[in-house]
Amino acid sequence: MALTVPVEQIQARPPSSSPAQREVFSLPVELLRPVIRIAHRQSGLRVPERIIFDYELVWVLHGAGQFVIDGRACAFHSNDLLLVPPFVPHRFECPEEAGSGEHIAVHFDFAPDVPPYRERPASRRPYEVRLTYGYQLPRLLSLDARPQIARALQDVVHAHHQMDPLAPVLASARLLEALVCLLRLSEQRAGTEPFCARAARHRVRIDGALAYMKAHLAEPITVATLAEHTHLSSSRLTALFRQVTGYPPMEYLRRLRVQEARRLLARPELSVKQVAALVGFPDSLHFSRVFRRLDGLSPTQYRDALLGVADSGHTETGVTSIRQSL
């Protein structure tokens, strides 16, 4: 049976001050692997103002009212599906005459470790997940004439509470089906060239920039250099790069350099300064700051954890440190 976490681990009252700047996590759409935290059917539609620490789909089975999110209100009715993002203040209002109502709620992450795993969802900091190629889930959608999505969500709730080892797998598979259907609908609503066709063309153009980055990782690279190499303007390259990878070019380059640095740090004959230079950071202090920002550890701490695991028979603490940093 899939375990439902306590409510206090997935929601809280909104902070009194403005939330901290959100960290953006890019997720290629082909890596969608939803992780379900809560999936239940409940009576009632009134929810006081709160924030949540993961994403939530709310399917209104019966009832009507207002969904107020980030200070903006929109009406909802029976058979509407709403998407609630993390760390955005919101509430559900339902008048007395509308009755108690009933809804299905599914709390989920788009993929394991996105955002990186922490002991409790409540320990997360403000974030959002950005899907590549411009895919977005609709914020409000009627499920009238969309039985496939409705059936998938019903199956998610049913499977989530079954005493069957394969039930969590089925629940995730059915939620994935619902998410794909919702993404296809957003594609159709755009009324433009299908995302898949655009993605293929854009990927070919951006692949050239990615190959250049990997081949010249130790050298100075600018957006202008990449634009010249791909025969695109700097602004066009930046726009396409963000659509394909979820990141602007220089942020992607930093992450690529840190990824290679992780591999090189496993070689004890190389100093941290040498590793920094090999991945394009002539300033080792700047390298350490970037590495810590992305991994939560300094290069030296990462190396100590990595080599400590190798020397001590893969201790549990060392393995956890490495998994969290990768």
Shared domain for 313 and 219, answered yes or no, is: no
Asked if the model's pLDDT at residue 199 lies above 80, the reply is no
Using only the alpha carbons of the chain, give its radius of gyration: 23
Q: Which residue has the higher pLDDT, 206 or 96?
A: 206
- Average pLDDT on 57-80 reads 92
Shared domain for 185 and 198, answered yes or no, is: no
Q: Is residue 146 one of the residues assigned to a domain?
A: yes
**Buried residues in 116-139 as b, exposed as e (16+ CB within 10 A):** beeeebeebebbebebbbbbebee
At 318 the pLDDT is 41
Q: Which residue has the higher pLDDT, 90 or 246?
A: 90
Q: Is residue 254 one of the residues assigned to a domain?
A: no
At 201 the pLDDT is 67
Domain end (from 181, 213, 246): 246
Asked if the model's pLDDT at residue 138 lies above 50, the reply is yes
Q: What are phi and psi of 237, to 5 degrees?
A: -60, -45
Which helix (DSSP H) or strand (DSSP E) does residue 44 occupy? none
- Average pLDDT on 158-165 reads 91
Shared domain for 215 and 199, answered yes or no, is: yes
Shared domain for 117 and 138, answered yes or no, is: yes
Expressed as residue numbers, the domain containing 299 is: 259-326
Please spell the DSSP secondary structure of 195-246, one letter per residue: HHHHHHHHHHHHHHHHHHHHHTTTS---HHHHHHHHT--HHHHHHHHHHHHS
Asked if the model's pLDDT at residue 198 lies above 70, the reply is no
What domain count does the chain have?
A: 3
Range with lowest mean pLDDT among 4-18, 47-61, 109-123, 203-217:
4-18
Q: Is residue 251 one of the residues assigned to a domain?
A: no
Q: Is residue 2 one of the residues assigned to a domain?
A: no
User: Given pLDDT bands bounded at 50, 70 and 90, which one contains residue 80?
Assistant: very high
Domain end (from 190, 210, 229): 190
Task: Give the tokens for residue 59.
Answer: 């399917």
At 26 the pLDDT is 85
Shared domain for 125 and 240, answered yes or no, is: no
Domain end (from 223, 246, 269): 246
Shared domain for 90 and 224, answered yes or no, is: no
User: Given pLDDT bands bounded at 50, 70 and 90, which one contains residue 313?
Assistant: very low
Condensed to tens digits (0 to 9), the pLDDT of residues 39-60 reads: 999 988 888 899 999 999 999 9
Shared domain for 165 and 49, answered yes or no, is: yes
Asked if the model's pLDDT at residue 107 lies above 70, the reply is yes
Shared domain for 177 and 38, answered yes or no, is: yes
Shared domain for 106 and 213, answered yes or no, is: no
Q: What are phi and psi of 41, to 5 degrees?
A: -115, 125
Shared domain for 231 and 176, answered yes or no, is: no
At 205 the pLDDT is 78
| Helix 316-325 vs helix 299-311: crossing angle, to nearest 10 | 140
User: Given pLDDT bands bounded at 50, 70 and 90, which one contains residue 9?
Assistant: confident
At 2 the pLDDT is 47
Range with lowest mean pLDDT among 2-11, 49-58, 148-157, 190-199:
190-199
As a whole-number percent, the residues of the chain with pLDDT over 90 amount to 52
Q: Is residue 8 one of the residues assigned to a domain?
A: no
Q: Which residue has the higher pLDDT, 15 or 209?
A: 209
At 273 the pLDDT is 95
Q: Is residue 309 one of the residues assigned to a domain?
A: yes
Asked if the model's pLDDT at residue 66 lies above 70, the reply is yes
- Average pLDDT on 69-77 reads 89
Q: Is residue 5 one of the residues assigned to a domain?
A: no
Shared domain for 83 and 166, answered yes or no, is: yes
Q: Which residue has the higher pLDDT, 95 or 248?
A: 248
User: Given pLDDT bands bounded at 50, 70 and 90, which one contains residue 311?
Assistant: very low
Q: Is 140 helix (H, G, I), strand (E, B) or coil?
A: strand
Shared domain for 173 and 31, answered yes or no, is: yes
> Over the chain, what is the mean pLDDT?
84
